[in-house]
Amino acid sequence: MADEEQPDEAEGEVTEGGKSRKGLIIGLVAMLVLGGGGFGAWKFLGGKADGKPKVEEKLPPRYVTLDPPFVVNFEAESVVRFLQVTIDVMTRDAAVETLIKGNDPRVRNDLLLILGNQSYASVSTLEGKEALRKRCLDSVKAIVTEMGGDASKLEALYFTSFVMQ
């Protein structure tokens, strides 16, 4: 047995247990390359650790208060009634905010016409107020569109004060 050739450990061919050092190094390098490539592809293709789709962060809301409050009168059962409404419009886009402020006289005119054409019975219910709010929002969106803005960026219209007398 003494005359059998023993592989030289210094040359890296055989180690204890009969495994090749070259094979181990090649295996580690291949694992790192494949793992790194897979991770890179996963990140590049938009993978997330929690499995949820990417959500675009929204800008903070910008509120435009239409001051002074709107005051209109209307008849209800042969009695003159008054309605005072404060309106705020919400957007997240500075250009739409500027458009609304720049067209304030037109916005106020159109909203006054809508508010003044209401009956006491229609605005005294929650459903009636909600329908009025939607109609006012559609009116402001139409003005934004006509002025070259993106009406889809006008998200909401709120009645911040609603007083009937």
The CATH number for 91's domain is 3.30.479.30
What span, in angstroms and rounded, lies between the C-alpha atoms of 62 and 58?
12
Count of C-beta atoms within a 10 Å radius of residue 164: 14
Give the residue-averaged pLDDT of 19-37.
78
Q: State if pTM tops 0.75.
A: no
The pLDDT tens digits for 36-70 are 777 777 677 765 555 566 667 889 999 999 999 99
Whether residue 154 sits in one domain with residue 75: yes
pLDDT, position 145:
96
CA distances (Å), origin 3, targets 6, 7, 55 = 9, 12, 72
Q: Look at the chain and report how many structural domains it folds into.
A: 2
Domain assignment present for residue 134? The answer is yes
What span, in angstroms and rounded, lies between the C-alpha atoms of 104 and 109?
8
